[in-house]
Amino acid sequence: MVWPRWNSNVVPYYQRYLFEVQKGLGPNTVVSLTYLGGRGTKLPYYENVNLPPYQTGWESEDAFNKARPNNNGRFADVSLLRHGHNSFYNGVTAGFQRNLSKGLQVLAHYTFSKTVADYNEIAPEAVGLDWSAWHYHRKLGRGEADFSHPHRFVAAVTYQLPWGSDLHPAAKALLWGWNVSSITTFESGNALTTYNGVTSARDGEPDMPNVSRNPNLSGGEHGFYRYFDLGAFSAPPQDVKGNAGRGIVRGPGINNWDISLSKVFRPVERLHIEFRGDLLNAFNHTQWGGIDTTFSDAEGSTFGWITWAREARVVQLSLRVSF
């Protein structure tokens, strides 16, 4: 393997488009509608310039290597740093904001968006290479990016409880002035890619299964052992390239409520005692994580199974003393 040179004078650039309309509804409330678009251009990728002519069904790695342009045994993959990948983002956000009035403050946003990108073979965390790439058919790596989440709703609400303002001073010190706040998040899951673990095109590129229909199920159809439509996938014949694309399976999303209860006690003028209780994932809703996306029809296969989950409910209690 010959490592690529990094002294390229091509600089990637990013274009951003923003348009927003706001409307006030009374003195304390604002609604907004925002379009945000972005495009990354001339992003880096590696081109392997020591590949044999494309074909499927290579009998062995030795046969593949012997067919390389430079096949004297000194070189295998020879990668050059190129700049030709692109990324695209388009999103529309509806917002609602209510400033603190009568003890209530609300900030909420819903975003509908999509991110499309070419497959990036650079592994920045290792400053190395990821060779599971489309070296011959680079555009086959274009699809919905892993981190593309079409739907995202986030609301932050703070409310000062009105109870106890007219109580006896001792009772008022305990019961009045409590604040309840919450952060609510509903979000689509990652755009996942399925790979073929049964047959292979043997063409030096990622092995993909065939897909015959939309594999994503409605929310009520998801199961631990069948998160998407397993019947939509099949193995192509050996030495035939599958037609499944990148990012076609929607992974588990987020349905989460974090709730906090807090109050500041002032037993004397210079002493402040702040109590805070937090419930993370307050309703203990199961938050699935990843799923197995390697296609297999063998007995005991875990294709389509949930593989992990996010944290269950977490309770935090804190006390802060200032003087």
What pLDDT, on the 0 to 100 scale, is given for residue 131? Answer: 45
Is 175 among the domain residues? yes
**Residue 155 confidence class, pLDDT cut points 50, 70, 90:** very high
Query: What is the per-residue pLDDT for 8?
Result: 52
pTM for this predicted structure: 0.85
Asked whether residue 21 is domain-assigned, the answer is no
299 is a domain residue: yes
The DSSP string of 254-301 is EEEEEEEEEEEEEEETTEEEEEEEEEETTT----B--B--EE--STT-
Joined tokens for residue 99: 């400033």
* Segments forming the whole domain that contains residue 223: 149-322
Q: Which of 17-31, 73-87, 130-144 has the lowest mean pLDDT?
A: 130-144
**Residue 19, domain member (yes or no):** no
Name residue 280's beta-bridge partners: 314
24, pLDDT greater than 90: yes
Q: Kindly tell me the sign of the dihedral angle through the C-alpha atoms of 244, 50, 52, 84.
A: positive
Q: Is residue 262 part of a domain?
A: yes
Residue whose C-alpha is closest to residue 120's, from 191, 45, 204: 45
Amino acid occupying residue 89: Y
Q: What percent of the chain has pLDDT over 70?
A: 93
pLDDT at 167: 76
Please name the residues in contact with 258: beta carbons below 8 A apart, sequence gap of 6 or more: 182, 183, 184, 278, 279, 280, 281, 282
Of the pLDDT bands very low, low, confident and very high (cuts 50, 70, 90), residue 105 is very high
Closest CA to 180 of 102, 262, 98: 262
More confident residue, 123 or 179: 179
CB atoms within 10 A of CB 35: 13
What pLDDT, on a 0 to 100 scale, did the predictor assign at position 124? 43
- Residue 266 is predicted with a pLDDT of 81
Question: Which is more confident, 223 or 170?
Answer: 223
> Mean of the pLDDT values across residues 9-14?
84
pLDDT at residue 126 in the model: 41
pLDDT in tens, 108-131: 999 999 999 998 654 443 444 344
Which carries the bigger pLDDT value, residue 133 or residue 224?
Answer: 224
Cβ atoms of 235 and 284 within 8 Å: the answer is no
Q: Which residue has the higher pLDDT, 12 or 36?
A: 36
Q: Is the dihedral of CA 295, 143, 240, 64 positive or negative?
A: negative
Q: Report the alpha-carbon distance of residue 303 to residue 291 in Å, rounded.
A: 8
Written as one letter, the residue type at 207 is: D
pLDDT at position 132 is 55
Who has greater pLDDT, 163 or 280?
A: 280
> pLDDT class for 175, splitting at 50, 70, 90?
confident
**CA–CA dist 239, 89 (Å, integer):** 35
Distance of CA 10 to the CA centre of its chain: 29
Residue 317 belongs to some domain of the structure: yes
Band the pLDDT of 207: cuts 50, 70, 90.
Answer: very high
Mean pLDDT, range 159-178, rounded to an integer: 78
Flag whether 15 is in a domain. Answer: no
Quote the CA–CA distance of 40 and 189 in Å, as a whole number: 23
CA dihedral over 60, 141, 127, 10, signed as positive or negative: positive
pLDDT tens digits, 268-311: 778 888 899 999 999 999 999 999 999 998 999 999 999 999 99
**pLDDT tens track for 209-246:** 999 999 999 988 999 999 999 999 999 999 999 999 99
Is residue 231 in a domain?
yes
Q: Number of folded domains in the chain?
A: 1
Per-residue pLDDT reduced to its tens digit, 40-52: 999 888 888 899 9
At 320, list the tokens.
Answer: 């802060």
Query: pLDDT-based confidence at 9, cuts 50/70/90?
Result: low
